[in-house]
A and B are shown apart, each in its own frame.
Chain A
Amino acid sequence: MLDVKNISMFFGGLAALSNVSFSVVEGEILALIGPNGAGKTTLFNVVNGFYKPSHGDIFFNGTRISNIKTHRICRLGIARTFQVVRPLQRMSVLDNVIASAFMRAADKKRAEEIAMDILQFTGLYDDRNVISKGLPLGKRKRLEIARALATQPTMLLLDESFAGLNPSELNESIDIIRKIKAKGITMMIIEHHMKVIMAISDRIIVLNYGQKIAEGTPLEIGRNPQVIEAYLGEATNA
């Protein structure tokens, strides 16, 4: 569904991503993990069109998307959330979702219908009239997901949607992710919460220093010595 081919991204002289390639298969949850500064969010920003890759190409359902603008990529069916939650602060929860629902809605009535459906789906219906600035973090993170879903994507990029949640919020969010998957939406997830990753992802890609160092099922990744080294560091006898 998504083919990332030999992507490199330079900032100044520094390579934030070097020669990264992978594919996302329709319907799966692909997790992207790696230590701080490994280039995960940069990769999202490249897929999402915020950055143009320095080298390489990205194809989405066969269309080359590495040279088109963010809003057009969204129209093609890729939606994302942000690591730092960015709801439209002074709008109500409902209005936030309506604003994104407009992309595929013919009129306001239809946009409202879509928004209501999604609020129910994500369990935010009761908070629909709250100004989003006043929501607790767990719900704000969910609002981000709701907003992305309102653009009716076929692929969803979730950037640390679980960070900072308490255990009960975490479980609610995991349920929602499973429900989204059941709808047939493909997902790429950046996450530090290893338990979540191991529980929900079909495959995992590990980045370190901007390079892909491993790819496999959760079980394989958990045993991969290179991954363990990237995370735990190599032992020195110095």
Chain B
Amino acid sequence: MAEAPEQIPGERSARGAGTDSSMGRPPLSIAESVGKGRTLRGDAWRRLRKNRLAVAGLVWVAIMVLLAVSADLWVPRYLGDPVDIDTTQAASQSLQPPSWDHLLGTDRMSRDIASRIIYGARASLLVGAVAVGIMLVIGLVMGAVAAYYGGIWDSIIMRAADIFLAFPYVLFAIVLVGVMGGGSPTNVFLAIGLLGWPGIARIFRGSVLAVRENEYVDAARAMGASTPRILFRHIMPNAIAPLVVYATMSIGVAILAEAALSFLGMGVQPPAPSWGGMLSEARGYLFTAPWLMVYPGIGILTTVLAFVLLGDGLRDALDVRKKE
């Protein structure tokens, strides 16, 4: 609705813009008035860049995402198909140790492990992202409603969160996937997402409540700002920082959870490659073909570690107390 803007009130006297005010106060000189305004986000980014571990995490995440996204373009051609097998050749190509032909070796089904790890990264990152997306959507809505409306809504939502938090995470994820009938990635997303929302809701609620105490929120209300404006312009942007950290860490946790479920045979189903599934297959080859166990494990470890380090770095970078 494009309403014609009203005239700015009280435009009584034409005051020279930019010139000295009628009160004859010259603008104050500010020592650091050189250069453009430094945004908080810019500051955070600068602090993040100084944290070597966090940068390493970021780079690793980026590499993994890149590999996962671009996999279809080159992996099957150069490394071998992660799923398809030529059964007449398979026996002779089975369980090859790492070599120039197969950088990380082959599995029992003669498939290239490097290829499967890259496709496994795709599954892991997808599960991580979607599951965290689901928990963010539910958690944000629940948290915002609880914090902003308070009262009975707050009680109901927080009790519900308590109920979900009372369930041990791994156990309940396994039970939930078991009930829903394992084998579908959707169920894995849903289970992890459904179990993760209380954490998000709690943090966001706490964060909103804390931000709401700031006087600039009062200031906006005193100006007559509407509730959505206050929520989206003032509260959300300032309350989101801890969530960014939590969500980053949660991706790591979700990847671990997916790996555990796949390891137990309830996650991503073979022949689709997944890291947990590969480890499950590797169990019998701890001595005869240790590379089966080593590389997918390293894949999980490094990727989750990357998210953890990134989360750590973000926490430090976004911590307002650490400014100055």
A binds B: no
* Chain B residues close to A by CB (< 8 Å): none
A interface residue numbers (CB < 8 A to B): none
